[in-house]
Amino acid sequence: MLRKILLTEEFIGRTKKVDGKLEYSFATTVQDFEDLKNLVAKNYPASDVFPAYYFSPQSCTIIARHDSKLVGSVCIIQNGAFPLPIEVSVSVPKKIGYYRFAELTDICTAPFFKEEQELKFSLIKHALQIIDSYTFLSRFYVSDLDSKCTEILDEMGFSCLNKFGPKKYNLRNTDSMFYYASFRGCLHKLTKSVLPLKNEIAKYLLSETSNTNFIAKDIFNTSKEHFLTPDCFQFILNQNPRVLGEIRPENLRNLMNSYLGHEDIMQLLPNPALPIQRTERRYPVRCEAVLLNENSEPIDNEILDVVSVAKRGIGFHQEKTWLKKGNIVRLRIEIGNHIMSDIEVKVGAIYQGLVTGTILKKDHYWNRYNQFLDSQYQLTRA
């Protein structure tokens, strides 16, 4: 490790642009990294100084936090003598414990990083250690970097998911599938060189959330070129045997092409030329409708089959003929293990037992869950 470095004493906050170019001033020689840390502490007493990353005798970097600022400095040592410090300073929210990756993205896209790839790798590695991994993995396009950066992600990414990822948000709670959306970006943006990470994320999500069928279907239907290893594919099928019925024919062909030679998986895949029988919905749904009087008091109730749900309306079957146009109905919908309640609907058209209604009142889960109620075919009653 390089211990003796040359660095201007005023390396933070003294670099400025003149005529579009960075202007530098040179001052004190720092003989030891401990002196460097002391120098930062002297100028910025409230700073949190993180370890420097050393890459070669020609460059090093240090990252510090001060007054909601993330400050980085790369020191390029020319001919072993004169330092050329490059200041990086961006505002970050006053959050305790991590930095948002949006600000690190600004740093990594700075023009001088075209020459300073090592510093970019340093920041990414640093980001994986300290920031919210949801933000990092869902927003960052690894394909914009080279293979070395994907190696860093492959090496560090999943350990960070364990540290900051799903368990932080308790994927078994009612918000689980919505936090999953952040990981979709990770699954689709990471390159082929990070296949182990993709597989681990897929397994991790499927073992940590009860909404496994939705996740499995989403994984299978959104990748043009399939990425899961056969053992991960088998893992998903073992947990979600019905998911194959949810795969679109074109994606089924992609799957078959991806797993040529894996007879154990090929035997599990249905023939894409045959129509897929959608006899069972992935979410058992139980809907109870309660008829209300003018004072919002319950009068009668019935268990209904929900047909479709949209942002402003709902359609369902009734076995009784007890609802009339204009009635106000309170719905309580159970989707798997999740419940939406206190949804009030004004009955509109009624035709052969099919009722449509306009939603007057909905609970705070409504906009989240209605997207998972597919209107293409009838939902099964629990």
Q: Is 51 inside a domain boundary?
A: yes
Of the candidates 131, 148, 179, which is a domain's last residue?
131
Neighbours of 217 (CB within 10 A): 21
Specify whether 314 is located in the same domain as 292.
yes
Look at residue 305 and give its three-state secondary structure: strand
Summarize pLDDT for 118-174 with one digit per residue, the tens: 555 655 555 555 444 444 444 443 334 445 555 555 555 444 444 434 443 333 333
Residues 172 and 268 in one domain: yes
pLDDT at residue 291 tops 70: yes
Question: Which is more confident, 256 or 311?
Answer: 256
In one letter, which amino acid is 344? E
Q: Which residue has the higher pLDDT, 33 or 340?
A: 340
One domain for residues 253 and 344: no
Q: How far is CA 238 from CA 104, 234, 253, 335, in A?
A: 40, 6, 21, 22
CB within 8 Å of 316: residues ≥ 6 apart: 287, 289, 304, 305, 306, 307, 354, 355, 357
- The answer to whether 314 and 357 are in contact (CB under 8 A) is yes
Tell me: do 52 and 105 sit in the same domain. Answer: yes
- The verdict on 304 and 231 lying in the same domain is no
- Look at residues 62, 72, 82 and name the one whose alpha carbon lies nearest to residue 6: 82
pLDDT at 37: 52
pLDDT for 326 beyond 80: yes
What tens digit of pLDDT does each residue of 78-97 get?
Answer: 333 323 333 333 333 333 22
Distance CA 223, CA 377 (A): 24
What's 368's domain CATH number?
2.40.10.220
The sign of the dihedral angle between the CA atoms of 24, 116, 184, 240 is negative
Most confident of 2-6, 68-72, 73-77, 309-313: 309-313
- Match 């290893």 to its residue by tokens: 229
Q: Of 217 and 88, which is predicted with more confidence?
A: 217
Q: Find out whether 244 and 268 touch, Cβ atoms under 8 Å.
A: yes
The residue type of 165 is: G
pLDDT tens figures, 16-32: 444 444 333 323 334 44
Q: Which domain holds residue 355?
A: 285-372
